[in-house]
Structure 1
């Protein structure tokens, strides 16, 4: 099958707390798939609370940078690699992230909401004893809070991440049900010159949709949004470039004729 999307711009390795996969294994899989390039976006979530499984979402950036540089050289004739990061946004972390991005030469920064007022929807405690609708609304409200105080990222990651973990997942979720707040998020991102990502993780979480869902991606385009990256959010080799054929179809159906990759925080537009 001819691939239309040849860059995976959201992936993790053992430098992220929630992956045990050696970086080289992710690269080798991308080479096997015939990708032109990949961007590692290792997790950095400062002030992340203690987790039931004892994960530590700090990041050894010097070691990460060194290893990626070594492997970029090793595989330079087979695949391009870019140096990215996924920032776990919270309202009080803006100065910290500004300082970090000023001194470390990342190519790409995803801004993501993992915590909602101290709770990660990944863990069931966030939903216990509460209506799912209100939990989802609080998540979207937290995105607005984050982008109101910080916009140093390049794209906002998996905007409806919360539906991966809700009791009913996306059974009762739709763009239309949350239209007002989702439109506010999209308009604010567009006004700040920020992109979004089409994250195919939703497919391997069984949603039958990317994150955000197709209707949100279409609305972003209708509102004038132009910057969209593609990433599988892979933490293991089998998920690299996952469902990228579906992603290409979604982009085309939403009015895109290209996708975006970043180098030195500058967008490059690649035709589908």
Structure 2
């Protein structure tokens, strides 16, 4: 079958605070689905604000690395397993992340915006008493703030993540409505030699679009963007490689002839 994506480069296991699935169960499911490879990208969100449900965002980084390396060896004949991280960016964390990336042998680093000026839009408090469009714009502005403070990631994660959680989700959201700021984000990413991801999480949130939406992906390509990874943002086995057939079709439609996989922080381009 053509247009097949066989690498899922954004997934979580119970090392992330918001997943309760063991790493081995995720690996077994990826093998069952016939994937060539996966990359775990556990959450590292230092200085995460207190949450309404008292979620503690901590990562046992050494335990994560040891478990992944052990399972990588165990399953090496069946699946390629890469060691990644999803950094929860905030401008004041730049030196912490800079030092971390010098010491850890990651294959792949996603930089994501989860916290906007002390709030995670995942929780309804962020939107309370405010215009949805103002909240969305503040989120996009915070991405630029993060990029100006720190740009050592390989790709910027789920650039319009916020529309998963807005009161109307993406009902009134379009690339055109926020084109000025989205173009600035894309140009900055490209100028710094970084990429973006096509995150199919938007499909399992019922948006009918990936994150970012296809119009943003098309614009990224028009502006000269070349590096694009694909991940389902799975926190459980049922979401691994979710709607990857749609992802492949979107990439092809937007002018991509390949997707990207990182190993030892270096991009490898895989034909669609």
TM-score band by shorter chain is: over 0.9
What are structure 2's unaligned runs of at least 5 residues? none
The residue number in structure 1 matching 2:65 is: 65
CA distance in 2, matches of 1:24, 1:150: 33
Per-residue CA deviation, residues 132-185 of structure 1 (Å, 9 max, x unaligned), is 000000000000000011011000000000000000000000000000000000
Is 2:87 the partner of 1:82?
no
What is aligned with 1:42? 42
CA distance in 2, matches of 1:58, 1:92: 18
Gaps of 5+ in 1: none
- 2:130 aligns with 130
The answer to whether structure 1 residue 148 and structure 2 residue 132 are counterparts is no
Seen in structure 2, the aligned counterparts of structure 1 residues 80 and 3 have a Cα distance that, compared at 3 Å, is farther
Shift of 1:2: 6.1
Deviation per CA, 1:87-138, whole angstroms, max 9, x where unpaired?
Answer: 0000100100010010010011000000000000000000000000000000
What's the counterpart of residue 8 of structure 1? Answer: 8
Deviation at 1:54, TM superposition (A): 1.8
Aligned partners of 2:52 and 2:80: how far apart in 1?
37
Sort the Cα spacing of 1:183 and 1:251 in 2 relative to 1 into closer, same or farther, 3 A: same
Taking the TM superposition and a 5 Å limit, the aligned residue runs for 1:106-185 are: 106-185=106-185
Q: What secondary structure, in the 3-state scheme, does the structure 1 residue paired with 2:77 have?
A: coil
Number of paired residues? 272
CA distance in 2, matches of 1:118, 1:16: 20
Match of residue 207 from structure 2: 207
Q: Secondary structure at the match of 1:10?
A: strand
Q: Deviations over 1:225-254 (max 9, x none)?
A: 000000000000000000000000000000
Cα distance in 2 for partners of 1:115, 1:188 equals 20
Corresponding residue of 1:229: 229
Q: C-alpha distance in 2, partners of 1:200/1:21? A: 19
User: Where does residue 258 of structure 2 map in the other structure?
Assistant: 258
Change (3 A) 1:3 1:70: farther
In the other structure, the counterpart of 1:30 is 30
- 1:52: Cα distance to partner? 1.6
Secondary structure at 1:46 match in 2 = coil
- Who is 1:104 aligned against? 104
Task: Give, in angstroms, the shift of residue 51 of structure 1.
Answer: 1.1
Distance in 1 between the 2:68 and 2:112 partners? 22
Question: Where in structure 1 do 4 or more consecutive aligned residues deviate above 6 Å?
Answer: none
Say whether the 8 Å CA contact 2:3–2:249 is kept in structure 1.
no
1:183-215 alpha-carbon deviations (Å, 9 max, x no partner): 000000000000000000000000000000000
How far apart, in 2, do the equivalents of 1:25 and 1:174 lie? Answer: 37
Partner SS for 1:230: strand
Q: 1:55 offset after TM fit, Å? A: 1.6
